[in-house]
Amino acid sequence: MRHVLSDILALRLHMRHIIAPPDFNRWRVPPASIAIHLCIGSVYAWSLFNPPLSRALGVVAPAADDWPLAHVVWIFSVAIVSFGLAAAFAGKWLEDVGPRMVGVVAACLWGGGFIIGGFGILYHQLWLIYLGYGVCGGCGLGLGYVSPVSTLLRWFPDRRGMATGMAIMGFGGGAIIGAPAIEALLAFYQHMPTYLGTADTLTLSTIEGIRYAQTSNGTLTEVVLIGAKEAAHLSTAVAPVAPGAYVVGTGSTGAAATFFTLGVVYFFVMVIAAFSYRVPAQGWQPKNWQPPDESHAKKRMITSEHVHIDQALKTPQFYLLWVLLCFNVSAGIGVIGVAKTMMSEIFGTTLPHIVDAAFTAQYVLMISVFNMLGRFFWASASDYIGRKVTYMIFLTLGIILYLSIPYTAEQVSVSPHIQWLMMFYAATMIIFTMYGGGFATIPAYLADIFGTRYVGGIHGRILTALSVASVLGPVAITQLREHSRIQAIESLATHIDPRLFLQTFGQSIDHLGILIEAKTVTIASLMDIAPIGTIDPSPTLYNTTMYVMACLLALAWLANMLVRPVHAKHHM
């Protein structure tokens, strides 16, 4: 720690200052890599911010001027796009300046992105959250992600898969620390809006789809109304929530203060970790280690040659691996972005006594656990069975599991038993191990195919696949879900007595489109007045999406099958 502090004070950032002495213990490098990846890996807990951001004004329910979920989800997408682009441009820079300088810049961008995003929430300016968390934070993600990978590949030529698995394991496990911290901070900073009373004790009116309540002095105040089920879902042992009307703009979800706190903490942790980086001297190799013999290397497609970073772009292998990573990530990243929402919509209404706020928070945490374990397990396994075989296994298994989710959702909507929840839980956890495994195995796959000399830069450029995936996955899942949601509401509305509809929402069913847009009519509010025996359509909102995700994995499977060794004309 003394050396780290002295380096910080001296601002020794360039690679020439961090070449390790001959007696340096290479196992001192992984903790620094894991620390940075744990910080930036909290991006996988983004779905915890979806509910508080989509009801920033209403707090207990979305108000008319609150940001819709589809707009909030795109912040995560912008962050991942920026992640991929920054990694692509930083890869070559990393080879010149070294991991320490890149790590410090990553700390400034990631921590600063949270601060800027916090002001966006505070002043209800969505573009500031996009700029802060999405663009600045996303660039910090990309720089922080690539900085340790090539370093560890050089320190561990004997265990490439394990080395990248260790580094990227932290990224997948970031939400293990981030999710509980975010939940605790949101709860600590949250305060409830002003409660006016139950709907039957107030004079309510609906103007252009927005609900208003008349106060004691005769003025109209915008309110949000929640029913008994929604109140029970929001309630905790410490802070029970009553059904009724709440004044819009009088409370806080705690999201802004949470952003500020996380930004400061992540900055300091990442700077300290970055100053712990060291790189091996030229020609260094582990004691008593011999490179694999030619026959073994050929069987596993492990080359002893090197391909220049620019020459790699001229090979078909680069683009096949790009497609492989893109479609594998697309299938997982869309689900991760709405994981908490998906769990609540599929099982929150059918098994409300089990799937409450605490359960969904734990679900997000377990996503991070299995994502992290998958990164280490699959990457380490690839050292023994080969990279290509590893991808074939989890892509095949992934297709089967994605196709099982619609079946599970349909069954639980008809027969709400815990066995369907257990099947869904198990299927998604295995999916997330393979999603993480795809990330962790790709650097070792690249090192095998293109050599280790420029693997950091090549890895950065192939991460542009992540930028495309971050758009493709969330667009598919949000657009298809939104289409299914509107169809479900329109179908439900046909089963409601028109007089009861008018009495409940203040406008006739002819104004359904306006009421949907104002968020006054939802699936939950219609189910409260639906005839007994009406099946809640919420669990089936994601069925079409899962079929599309399975098709993407099938295309990734085909790309992996076509990968062959790089032709000798591309070698340096």
Q: What's the Rg (C-alpha) of the chain?
A: 25
* Coil, strand or helix at 394: helix
Burial of residue 324 (CB within 10 Å: 0-12, 13-18, 19+) is: buried
The 10s digit of each residue's pLDDT in 220-256 is 888 888 877 777 777 665 567 888 888 888 888 889 9
**Alpha carbons 441 and 560: distance in angstroms, whole number:** 13
State the residue for tokens 């919509």.
345
Supply 286's token pair. 């582990």
Q: What is the pLDDT of residue 157?
A: 75
Considering only residues 265 and 90, tell me which one the structure prediction assigns the higher pLDDT. Answer: 265
Phi, psi dihedrals of residue 13, rounded to the nearest 5°: -105, -35
Considering only residues 349 and 493, tell me which one the structure prediction assigns the higher pLDDT. Answer: 493
Q: What is the pLDDT of residue 47?
A: 79
Highest mean pLDDT (candidates 133-147, 159-173, 204-218) = 133-147
Buried/exposed code over 60-81 (b: 16+ C-beta within 10 A; e: otherwise): bbbbbebbebeebbbbbbbbbb
Confidence category of residue 3, pLDDT binned at 50, 70, 90: low
Q: Tell me the DSSP string of 77-108.
A: HHHHHHHHHHHHHHHHHHHHH-HHHHHHHHHH
Q: What is the pLDDT of residue 105?
A: 92
**Alpha carbons 166 and 341: distance in angstroms, whole number:** 30
Confidence category of residue 294, pLDDT binned at 50, 70, 90: low
CA distances from 330 to 20, 24, 168, 465 (A): 39, 40, 18, 9
Q: What is the pLDDT of residue 299?
A: 56
Average the pLDDT over 525-554 and give the result: 81
pLDDT for 8 beyond 60 = no
Q: Are 168 and 440 in contact (CB under 8 A)?
A: yes
Supply 276's token pair. 């712990």
**Alpha carbons 492 and 342: distance in angstroms, whole number:** 20
Please choose, from the candidates 524, 521, 526, the residue with its C-alpha nearest in 3D space to the C-alpha of residue 497: 526
pTM, whole model, 2 decimals? 0.71
Residue 166 contacts by C-beta under 8 Å, 6 or more apart in sequence?
30, 33, 34, 152, 376
pLDDT for 14 beyond 80 = no
**Alpha carbons 299 and 312: distance in angstroms, whole number:** 21
Q: Quote the DSSP letter at residue 351.
A: S
pLDDT for 560 beyond 80 = yes
Confidence category of residue 266, pLDDT binned at 50, 70, 90: very high
Highest mean pLDDT (candidates 265-279, 443-457, 515-529) = 265-279
Query: Which domains, ranges and CATH numbers included, belong to the chain?
Result: 2-191+251-284+308-495+534-570 (1.20.1250.20), 197-247 (no CATH)
State the residue for tokens 């070792």.
444
pLDDT for 107 beyond 80 = yes
pLDDT for 394 beyond 90 = no
pLDDT for 414 beyond 90 = no
Confidence category of residue 260, pLDDT binned at 50, 70, 90: very high
Question: Average model confidence (pLDDT) for the chain?
Answer: 81
Phi, psi dihedrals of residue 164, rounded to the nearest 5°: -70, -35
Supply 448's token pair. 């095998």
The 10s digit of each residue's pLDDT in 181-217 is 898 899 889 888 888 888 878 878 888 878 888 877 7
